[in-house]
Amino acid sequence: MSRVEQPAATLKVEIWRGGPDGGFRTYRVPRRDSQTVLDVVTHVQREIDPSLFYRFACRVGMCGSCATTVDGKPAWTCRTLVSRVEKDNAIRIAPLANLPIIRDLACDMTGFSISGSAHPAASCRPTRTHRLSRKFRPQVLPGGQIQPGTGYVQI
């Protein structure tokens, strides 16, 4: 009796690309147990499209820097399990609607707190200006293009 291998389950992921006038691009990502939305975004950036621009820091739900809109609701991607938000094996990820878009999933959080709240959209309290260290700034090529592989911002 021969064993027939089942194809690995995949997740259809629509991710916002570009600035305010951008649009959604569709990716197929392998499903994993206990997979978070941040795991999905990281897989897309590292394995499929290194130009994807997004923000994260702690990966444990403390800072709020990974906040995006997941299927129409604000969420911390590091704490949001795919199994709780996917419908028909698909999810849609967009930047937060209440902040200016820098590019893709990253919003301009200058002057706003990115921690100290249980809800990412409620964390918009003016604070001191946050500056990224040079170590984590994306490398910009001539013509304004982001160097592939440097389009995520870890703060």
- Residue range 54-86, pLDDT digits in tens: 988 876 666 778 899 999 999 999 999 999 999
**Taking the model in full, what pTM does it have?**
0.69
Task: Return d(Cα 73, Cα 1) in angstroms, integer.
Answer: 48
Length of the chain: 155
Q: Could you state, in order of their start, the residue ranges of all structural domains in the chain?
A: 10-154
Give the C-alpha distances (Å, rounded to integers) separating 146 from 9, 18, 37, 80: 31, 12, 23, 27
8-152-145-104 Cα dihedral, nearest 10 degrees: 70
Cα 54–Cα 56–Cα 61 angle in degrees, nearest 5? 135
Q: What is the per-residue pLDDT across 15-34, written as a single tens digit (0 to 9) for each?
A: 999 999 999 999 999 999 89
CATH topology assigned to domain 10-154: Ubiquitin-like (UB roll) (3.10.20)
